Copies of this chain bind each other. A is one copy, B any other.
Amino acid sequence: MKDHETGRQTRRVTMQSIAHQAGVSLTTMSRALNDHPDIDPATRERILAIGRELRYTPSAIARSLATQRSHTIGLAVRTPLDMWAAQIILSIEELAHTSGYEVFISTHQADAARERAVLKTFQGRQVEGIIVVSSVLGEEPGALRPSLGVPVVLISPLLHVAHRYTVQTDDVAGARTATEYLIRLGHRRIAHIGVPDWAAPGYNRQQGYRAALEAHGLPWDPALVFAGDAHEGGGLHGVQALLALPDPPTAIFCFNDLTAVGVLHGARLQGVQVPRDLSLVGLDDVSLVHYLDPPLTTIRQDVQALGGRAMHMLLDLIAGRETQAPVVLDMELVERLSCAAPGAGA
């Protein structure tokens, strides 16, 4: 081993060396480390002192091999780039930390092969559990089976539920809440800017949107549904297309807040005022939308809870405890200033 500060060769400090120094057996040494009851406090202190002096750090790897427990979990996300995933990473890491677990992180890029590879790697690393955010394999029946012996918890909804342990927000209800709010304000031509692939979240939000329309006897007009990209650009193109319609919408429900930011921008470019000429509802409630002009009305999802519940579920499964599954979390309307009754303007 090389000391990267001095470049000197160093010999690894192991239980051997310390036990030797202290004149005790490996067993006693081990007891000292894990503060086992069957040990003289004095000898233990002596051993630990030597350990500190020699800067001894137990090898978690050797320990794992011996105990058959790695105290690690695997966390696979599509990408850490959106606030959503970042918040989930944070809450999971914190809980893992307080529960004595270390977490491996990997990205799967919404690619099935990649996700499979990640799971396989985690399995090889002997993780005790796996959490997958925005899993694509979750849709394939039995695809999560190969991770035999390791509990897998999924965050994000599935269309074809092929897995029991999932934590998700109720996208359908959330989208419905948003749309009904707009209907209550008096809007009749309500558009939706979604995502291109219509994977579970996108599909569900669109379903909620449609359900709200139908429940209130409003026609479902395909021309009012635009496939965005969950980013500002999609929102921008979306409004441009929607406003160019012969009979343009008076309100838009967006897949997420970023999309709404793009819509806001596009509306401004066209001289369309929000909320006077166009009402707008986002989804997520990222901190920033509070500071937009106008502050965005949105649907809040408790992302921290998503991660927390998933981690708790995983800990339960690891411990062989009973656990409630699946978990579906509610979303909540946050009224700000981007909505108004239609026809207020021009």
Contact = CB atoms under 8 A, between A and B. Distances in A.
A27 to B, nearest CB: 20
Interface string A277-320: 00000000001101111000000000000000000000001001
A163 to B, nearest CB: 9
A236 B287 CA distance: 13
- Give the contact-size bracket for chain A: 35 or more
* Chain A binding surface SS class: mixed
Interface string A89-104: 1100110010000111
B5 A61 contact: no
B146 A231 contact: no
Contact of A94 (B60, B64, B107): B107
A149 B4 contact: yes
Contact of A61 (B10, B70, B89, B264): B70
B232 A55 contact: no
Contact of A90 (B3, B59, B81, B123): B81
A19 interface: no
Interface of A: 1-5, 10, 12, 55, 57-62, 64-65, 70, 72, 75, 79-83, 85-87, 89-90, 93-94, 97, 102-107, 120-121, 123-126, 145-146, 148-152, 231-232, 236, 258, 261-262, 264-265, 268, 287-288, 290-293, 317, 320
* Closest A-B pairs by Cβ, 8 of them: A265-B291, A105-B105, A80-B86, A1-B149, A4-B151, A60-B124, A232-B291, A80-B89
24 contacts: A1-B149, A4-B148, A4-B149, A4-B152, A4-B317, A5-B148, A10-B149, A55-B146, A57-B123, A57-B124, A60-B126, A61-B125, A65-B65, A72-B104, A81-B90, A86-B86, A89-B105, A93-B107, A102-B125, A232-B288, A236-B291, A261-B288, A265-B291, A288-B288
